[in-house]
Amino acid sequence: MLPSDRADNERNGSLMDRLTENLVRRLAGQSSRRGVLARLGAAMAAVPAFPLLPVTRASAATATPAARTVKAPSPFAAHAQAKDDTACDYWRYCAIDGYLCTSCGGGIHSCPPGTAPSPTSWIGSCFNPQDGRSYLIAYRDCCGQDACDEVNCLNTDGDQPSYRPMANNDIIWCFGTGTSEMYNCSTAAIIGSTT
C-alpha cells in the first residue's frame, strides 16, 4: 500500500474499516499461514463433537405415555386386537402356528386337561396395541391328545427357517414331555418386555 493510499483511507474510512484493518494487520504480523490453517483444521475437526455436548433440547422431549402414538412394527400388529383371545388376530398370537388352546378347553398360557406342556418353546416378539409396547412371547405346544381341531392360526411375524429352531413355528415341540408326542394345541405366555 502506498503512503498516499493510506492517507486517503484514513480520511475516508469508517471506524469499522479502521478497526478491522488494524485487527487483520496485527493478526498477520503475529501468525503464519500454517498456523492459521492448523487452527482452522482443528476447529473443523471439533465441529462434529458439538452435538454430543449436554444441551437441553425442548424438541427432543418425549411426550407423556397417554399422548404418544406408537406405529405398529408389522402388518400383523397394525390389525391386532386385545379383546378376544380365541381369535387369530389376538395380539399375542403374532407368531403362533397351530390350534389355539383358548378354544380347546385350556387358557392363553395353560394346557387343556389331559395334555402336558412341552418343555421347550419357540419365541416371538409381539406388539400390544393397548399399551404400545412389544413383549417376548413363549409359544408352547400342549401334547398328549389328538389335535383339538378348533381354531387353527398361521401367523408368521418373525418366523425363521428350520435351522433357527428357537424362532421357527413349524416344528412340533412335543418331544420330551414324558407323555405322547401327539400335538393338541398351542399356548402363548408372556415371558418379558422388549422395551
SS3 at position 131: coil
Catalytic residue at 122? yes
89 labeled part of a ligand binding site: no
- Alpha-carbon separation of residue 31 from 22, 27, 40, 47, 89 (angstroms): 14, 6, 13, 23, 73
Bridge partners, residue 123, by sequence: 138
Catalytic residue at 91? no
In the numeric block, the cell 399399551 is attached to 131
Residue of 91, 122, 157, 173 marked active site: 122
Q: What are the two backbone dihedrals, phi and then psi, of residue 183, each rounded to the nearest 5 degrees?
A: -85, 135
Residue of 5, 17, 84, 141 marked active site: 141
190 labeled part of a ligand binding site: no
170 labeled part of a ligand binding site: yes
Of 163, 84, 169, 88, the closest CA to residue 125 belongs to 169
Annotated binding site for substrate: 97, 169-171
Annotated binding site: 97, 169-171
Catalytically active residues are: 122, 141
